[in-house]
Amino acid sequence: MRAGPILALPAVLRSLGVEPHALLADFGLTESFFDDPENTLSMAMAGRLLGRCAELTNCEHFGLLVGQHAGASSLGTLGYLMQSSSTVGDALSVFARDLDVQDQGGMVWIESAGNFSILGYTLLDAEIESLNQIMACAIAIATNILRSLFGRPWRPDQVLFAFSRPRRVGPYQRFFGVVPNFDADRTGIVFQSQLLRAPVPSADLLLHKLMGERVHELKQITEANIVEHVRRILRTMVTSPNCSVGAAADQIGMHRRAFNRKLAAAGTTFRQMCNEARRDLACQLLDNTSTAVTDIATILGYADPAGFTRAFHRWTGAPPTQWRTRRRH
């Protein structure tokens, strides 16, 4: 990921009484690293770093504080492409489609149902440390982005976090304007669907064209192979009723047979990748939430919780309840 979204980290540390130098040195970083938004670091390192900062400052919502300082401009070219879009819906479609030029460790998705829509964020690696810090940071940034796109005072109708309720909820309520729902099955911001049609105050057709060309160039440079592409889309598809090889092939824009051939050439199958995505999401929910095992089975599309338990045992060598207990210890 680009460092742009977490440039405020040293300043937040100082505001909480911790000098950044020694802490950053433990990660092979210097404070000057945060002077350039184009510097990059792995999502795993970002998780460890945010977790360590939260520990040293005794601030459980450290990631939230860092995210509050960032908005669309922290996303570089992608942020400018969004801000120059015609409507909020167009901007969020760009956000979901092109996030990989900014962040290859997670994905943004949009889902609408009736009067409400959700802008969500999912990490691709369920084993990332301090997932709650990353998610809080990401959703704070996404909220700032939505506030800039709506161009008027706005607050979410609901905020969801797929991690356990922290001891102090006040900092979250003050920033979002609502008390988030913790222990949710996904992480995201709920807002009224009609706002997708709202015009973006900073819309600029020429800038949008120029930024679109630049994002296209960046995507050609960073274009992942088909396995990585499928891995990204499966993180949301496995919770939908239409998780099929045909639906995945359609999303990528490829005929089903050609799609299967490419996966086979890469040494995998769609079924195998679905199971990996279900395993990763199951581990994330078991590790970071208090959601019941039966509910996780339902979220992952299992009609019978026993079937999920057998599958999870096959994936990890332990039933889900035992796996969760070991991780907590």
SS3 content of the chain, % helix, strand, coil (to 5): 60, 10, 30
The mean pLDDT of 233-249, rounded to a whole number, is 84
Among 122-136, 180-194, 288-302, top mean pLDDT goes to: 180-194
Q: Tell me how crowded residue 328 is: count the other CB atoms within 10 A of its CB.
A: 8
CATH top-level class of 226-328 = mainly alpha
* Percent of the chain predicted with pLDDT > 70: 98
State the chain's mean pLDDT as an integer.
90
Q: Tell me how crowded residue 181 is: count the other CB atoms within 10 A of its CB.
A: 13
Torsion 267-271-272-274 (CA) sign: positive
Q: Which residue has the higher pLDDT, 80 or 249?
A: 80
> What is the per-residue pLDDT across 75-93, written as a single tens digit (0 to 9) for each?
999 999 999 999 999 999 9
Residue 34 one-letter amino acid = F
- Residue 223 scores a pLDDT above 60: no
Partners of 106 in the beta sheet?
Answer: 123
Q: Tell me how crowded residue 167 is: count the other CB atoms within 10 A of its CB.
A: 6
Domain boundaries, the chain: 4-197, 226-328
Q: Which residues does 271 contact at the CB level (< 8 Å), separation at least 6? A: none
Cα–Cα separations (whole angstroms), residue 19 to 22, 31, 48, 58, 137? 7, 10, 17, 14, 21
Sheet harboring 116-123: ordered strands across? 106-113, 116-123, 188-192, 158-160
The mean pLDDT of 235-244, rounded to a whole number, is 84
Q: Which residue has the higher pLDDT, 221 or 290?
A: 290
Q: Tell me how crowded residue 103 is: count the other CB atoms within 10 A of its CB.
A: 22
Count helices and strands in the chain by DSSP H and E runs: 16, 4
User: Which letter does DSSP use for residue 87 in this model?
Assistant: B
Cα–Cα separations (whole angstroms), residue 211 to 78, 89, 95, 215, 253? 7, 17, 13, 6, 24
- Residue 25 scores a pLDDT above 80: yes
> What is the per-residue pLDDT across 55-68, written as a single tens digit (0 to 9) for each?
999 999 999 999 99
- Residue 173 scores a pLDDT above 90: yes
pTM (two decimals): 0.76
- Residue 221 scores a pLDDT above 70: no
pLDDT interval class at 197 (50, 70, 90): very high
pLDDT interval class at 227 (50, 70, 90): confident
Q: Tell me how crowded residue 63 is: count the other CB atoms within 10 A of its CB.
A: 29
User: Which letter does DSSP use for residue 99 in this model?
Assistant: G
- Residue 4 scores a pLDDT above 90: yes
Q: How far apart are CA 4 and CA 292, in angstroms?
A: 36
What are φ and ψ of residue 70, in 5° steps?
-120, 155
Half-sphere exposure of 59 (CA within 13 A, CB side): 23
Rg (CA), the chain: 20
The mean pLDDT of 217-236, rounded to a whole number, is 74
Q: Which residue has the higher pLDDT, 25 or 127?
A: 25
pLDDT interval class at 31 (50, 70, 90): very high
Q: How far apart are CA 20 and CA 18, in angstroms?
A: 6
Detail the DSSP E strand segments found in 136-199. 158-160, 188-192
The mean pLDDT of 193-209, rounded to a whole number, is 94
Number of residues assigned to the chain: 329
Q: What is the pLDDT of residue 93?
A: 94
> What is the per-residue pLDDT across 250-261, written as a single tens digit (0 to 9) for each?
777 677 887 888
Cα–Cα separations (whole angstroms), residue 199 to 80, 161, 165? 15, 28, 35
> What is the per-residue pLDDT across 115-165, written as a single tens digit (0 to 9) for each?
999 999 998 877 788 999 999 999 999 999 999 999 778 999 999 999 999
Q: What is the pLDDT of residue 104?
A: 78
Q: What is the pLDDT of residue 222?
A: 54
The mean pLDDT of 315-329, rounded to a whole number, is 91
